[in-house]
Amino acid sequence: MVYIALVVRHLVRRSCVAVASWARSIARGARVMSSTSPVGASRAGPGRETRTRADAKPRTAAFVLARDGIGEDARATCERLAEIASWCGAVGIERVSAYESSGRVADGRGRDAMRDALERRARRDGFAYVLRACDRENGGKIDVIARGGGDGGSSAWTIEVDALRAEDACAALVAAATRADVESVDDERDEDHEGRAFENKRHVGKIERWMRDRGNFLTPADVVVVFGEVFHLDGYPPWQLYAAEMFHETSLEAFTREKFARIVEKYRTTAQRFGR
């Protein structure tokens, strides 16, 4: 029994080290800037293509609502997020994550408020939407919970929205990292590597495929905007951040389309970047 306990503890420790290694990579890789800060060049992330200035544009975006950066009215919050989702679709962004750690946009009432807000905005602006959320009772699978907006070919575009809260997708990431860690040990034994094979960039693709095959993969964001007086991610799913350019805004209510346009333009005018 003592031997079994030691083995289990060893495996858990290896998994934690693997996840911690990726967390440190995220901290080193992600850049934070305000919408008024100068633009710099970022580096191509693991498993990502580097695109030129001419064709680069964000395809995915995430909006993180720190609790000190939003008001108490969940419906008003969802209305603002639906409006921002419309702006995203208009510039070619295909998928948006809306995150608030306590579940304001992802629990039962929050999902209803988000769906209603998207429906109203979609009918007003002429687009279609797909709303998704994590089903924690089904292994964290990302399920479609609502569709709506324009009918048939009448929609100008379709925007996909993930409504997220704290710990969404974390269990999936830990499971995937654990699997990759175990496989890396086998690789080291079979191929006689120097160092850990887990650190090789090819394992990024392995982890993503493993999560995608199980339906609990959240697409990494090209652009992340964090709202709040103090910049902090408030438990946001870490895997979406490794290829992101990050921006800080103090207020969701004061965020305008002009500020959004400046963020998109800064992304586009960076010569090399993370992103899809």
Query: Distance between CA atoms of 122 and 27, rounded to whole angstroms?
Result: 36
- Asked whether residue 38 carries a pLDDT value surpassing 50, the answer given is no
Please report which confidence band the pLDDT of residue 225 belongs to, taking 50, 70 and 90 as the band edges.
very high
Reported pTM: 0.71
Please report which confidence band the pLDDT of residue 211 belongs to, taking 50, 70 and 90 as the band edges.
confident
In this prediction, what percent of the chain has a pLDDT beyond 70? 60
In this structure, of 91-105, 106-120, 260-274, the range with the lowest mean pLDDT score is 260-274
Does residue 164 lie within any of the structural domains?
A: yes
Q: Cα angle vertex 223, ends 222, 224, to 5°?
A: 125
- For residues 240-264, give the mean pLDDT: 92
Does residue 276 lie within any of the structural domains?
A: no
Amino acid 205: pLDDT: 73
Does residue 236 lie within any of the structural domains?
A: yes
More confident residue, 165 or 30: 165
Amino acid 78: pLDDT: 93
Query: Distance between CA atoms of 182 and 188, rounded to whole angstroms?
Result: 10
Output the domain CATH number for residue 126.
Answer: 3.40.1180
What is the pLDDT of the chain when averaged over all its residues? 73
Tokens of 228: 């709040």
Look-up of token digits 């990024």? 204
- Asked whether residue 50 carries a pLDDT value surpassing 80, the answer given is no
Does residue 274 lie within any of the structural domains?
A: no
Q: Which residues contact 103 (CB under 8 A, 6 or more apart)?
A: 110, 165, 166
Query: Distance between CA atoms of 230 and 142, rounded to whole angstroms?
Result: 30
Does residue 241 lie within any of the structural domains?
A: yes
Does residue 137 lie within any of the structural domains?
A: yes
Please report which confidence band the pLDDT of residue 95 belongs to, taking 50, 70 and 90 as the band edges.
very high
Does residue 275 lie within any of the structural domains?
A: no
Total domains in the fold of the chain? 1
More confident residue, 110 or 1: 110
Does residue 273 lie within any of the structural domains?
A: no
Domain of 168 in residue numbering reads as: 2-268
